[in-house]
Amino acid sequence: MRLSLAQIQPLFARAACAVLLLAWTLLSVQCETVLPRQSWNLEWGTMVPHTKFPGDCGICHVPERWDIIRDDFEFDHAMETGYALEGAHKVAACLRCHNDRGPVQAYLARGCGGCHVDFHQGSLGLDCTKCHNEDHWNPIGLILDHARTRFPLTGPHAVAPCESCHERATVGEFRGAQVECHFCHQEEAARAVPNHVINGWQRDCTRCHNHLTWAQAPGFNHDNFFPLTGAHLNLSCLQCHPGGRFVPISPLCFSCHQQDYIAAPNHVADGYSTNCTDCHNTVAWK
Summarize pLDDT for 246-285 with one digit per residue, the tens. Answer: 878 888 888 888 998 898 888 888 888 888 888 888 887 7
Q: Do both 233 and 211 map to the same domain?
A: no
Binned at pLDDT 50, 70 and 90, residue 218 comes out as: low
Q: Do both 204 and 245 map to the same domain?
A: no
Burial of 205 (0-12, 13-18, 19+ CB in 10 A): buried
Tell me, yes or no, whether 272 lies in a domain. yes
Q: Write the pLDDT tens digit of every residue in 150-170.
A: 888 888 888 888 888 888 877
* Averaged pLDDT for residues 101-129: 80
Tell me, yes or no, whether 173 lies in a domain. no
Tell me, yes or no, whether 286 lies in a domain. yes
Count of structural domains, the chain? 2
Rg over CA atoms, the chain: 40
Q: With the C-alpha atoms ordered 84, 87, 90, 93, is the resulting torsion angle positive or negative?
A: negative
Judged against a pLDDT cut of 50, whether residue 28 lies above it is answered with no
Residue-number span of the structural domain to which 212 is assigned: 180-220
Judged against a pLDDT cut of 70, whether residue 26 lies above it is answered with no
Residue 39 has a pLDDT of: 55
* Averaged pLDDT for residues 92-121: 80
Tell me, yes or no, whether 271 lies in a domain. yes
Residue 161 has a pLDDT of: 84
Within 8 A by CB and 6+ apart from 266, the residues are: 272
Q: What is the DSSP letter of 195?
A: -
Tell me, yes or no, whether 21 lies in a domain. no
E strand or H helix at 256, and its extent? Answer: helix 253-263
Q: Write the pLDDT tens digit of every residue in 185-196.
A: 888 888 887 788
Q: Is 18 helix (H, G, I), strand (E, B) or coil?
A: helix
E strands, the chain, in order: 40-41, 45-46
CB 134 within 8 A of CB 88: yes
CA 252 remoteness from chain centre: 53
* Averaged pLDDT for residues 118-135: 80
Tell me, yes or no, whether 133 lies in a domain. no
* Averaged pLDDT for residues 35-63: 68
Mean pLDDT for the chain?
77
Distance CA 197, CA 187 (A): 11
